[in-house]
Amino acid sequence: MNRLELDHLTTSTIDITYVCLPLSSNDGRSIYDKRLTEALNELGIRVNTLELAHPCRRFIPIWGKKWQKMQVEYVKKTSQKSKFTIVSHELLADFSRTLKPDLFIIHNLFSHFSFKSRPDIQLFYRCGSSHLFNSVAASSQRLLFLSERERAIASETWPDLPIYASPPGIPQKENLPLNYNATSIKTLGSNDWLPKRASKLSRSDHKYLKNAKLEVISDNFGNPSPAIIEDKFLSGFKLKLMEHLYNGDTIASFSDLSSEIDWINPHYSRFKHVNSINEAISFFNKTEASIGATNEDRITKSRLDLTSRFAWKEVARNIASKLDH
């Protein structure tokens, strides 16, 4: 299915049952599913969204929760009315065996979840997950990852399965300012997930920032500025990374996202993996000193490039094109 064919799709030619967790929350998973299904609809693809509540277990293994047979049968019956079935999120792994979905979207490959400074949290999410992901791979027609790192791991683990990667779409905004604000530091994302709470900047970190006359803000869109990705683990960064790249921010990250940036925007030079807040501040100061008169042109060109490849409609188009391959 090429781009021209997708541009002429009608609701009578393709429809998708999209099985996901509730869309009512404000976490990254919910935002992803909402934006993707909206973009699929904009392409003329009819999307029947099935939202399923899943109370998380608070003890190891967190993957032990089973769905009721009645729920599984209902989803199976409903999905049979559509040409394609997409299941989004690893907590819905049970449905892969019954639905054999055309595409399973894995948001985080927890069998390889890495949080080196907190091995207890790493164990909490890894425990029992290998069996879960092997089951998904065995019963799905294709897998999609939001991370190039995880796609590479999965391709080695399941070499005979079609496996793709596509980052979340970029949050297009009109008339964003271009002038650089060196006095504010952005920290994006919610803290309603255990690894994120364990990665938050400490009081001493905030003190260093205050002494450096840097104000911490959570404004997603505004002037390009210094930005810190607090996560000390390799998961959960996807949406905020796309926002920072689109905005033209100078990014210091406590997790090494170099391979992801090389995949999304290989010419983006204002990123550094740091190990301390002092290292981040030093990087911001060095970058500020190098900003010249062409900075606004650079950001404008970068936004246009990212929009052409990663606007939500383009992400949806790319994903839909994989369903017939």
In angstroms, the CA 89 to CA 54 distance is 11
Q: Where do we find the tokens 């925007």?
A: 265
Whether the pLDDT of residue 239 is over 80: the answer is yes
Contact of 271 with 253, CB cutoff 8 Å: yes
Contact of 178 with 296, CB cutoff 8 Å: yes
- Which one is predicted more confidently, 316 or 60? 316
Q: What average pLDDT does the structure give for the chain?
A: 88
Contact of 290 with 220, CB cutoff 8 Å: no
Mean pLDDT over 71-96 rounds to: 91
- Write the pLDDT tens digit of every residue in 159-179: 999 999 999 999 877 777 888
Mean pLDDT over 62-83 rounds to: 84
Whether the pLDDT of residue 59 is over 70: the answer is no
- Which one is predicted more confidently, 151 or 67? 151
pLDDT at 10: 39
Whether the pLDDT of residue 11 is over 50: the answer is no
What SS3 string covers the chain?
Answer: CCHHHHHCCCCCCCEEEEEECCCCCCCHHHHHHHHHHHHHHHCCCEEEEEECCCCCCCCCCHHHCCCCHHHHHHHHHHHCCCCEEEEECHHHCHHHHHHCCCEEEECCCHHHCCCCCCHHHHHHHHCCHHHHHHHHHHHCCCEEECCHHHHHHHHHHCCCCCEEECCCCECCCCCCCCCCCCCEEECCCCCCCHHHHCCCCCHHHHHHHHHCCCEEECCCCCCCCEEEECCCCCCCCHHHHHHHHHHCCEEEECCCCHHHHHHHCCCCCCEEECCCHHHHHHHHHHHHHHCCCCHHHHHHHHHHHHHHHHEHHHHHHHHHHCCCC
pLDDT at 58: 60
pTM: 0.90
- Write the pLDDT tens digit of every residue in 192-227: 788 989 999 999 999 999 999 988 887 666 788 999
Whether the pLDDT of residue 250 is over 50: the answer is yes
- Write the pLDDT tens digit of every residue in 140-156: 999 999 999 999 999 99
Buried b (16+ CB within 10 A) or exposed e, 266-301: eeeebbbbbeebeebbebbeebeeebeeebbebbee
pLDDT at 8: 41
Q: Going from the N-terminus, what domains does the chain have, and what CATH number goes with each?
A: 3-170+311-321 (3.40.50.2000), 184-307 (3.40.50)
pLDDT at 6: 45
Q: Where do we find the tokens 């042109």?
A: 297
What backbone phi and psi angles, to 5 degrees, belong to 299?
-65, -40
pLDDT at 12: 42
Whether the pLDDT of residue 244 is over 60: the answer is yes
Mean pLDDT over 76-103 rounds to: 93
pLDDT band at 72 (very low <50, low <70, confident <90, very high): confident
- Write the pLDDT tens digit of every residue in 266-284: 989 899 999 999 999 999 9
- Which one is predicted more confidently, 310 or 57? 310
pLDDT at 223: 83
pLDDT at 226: 93
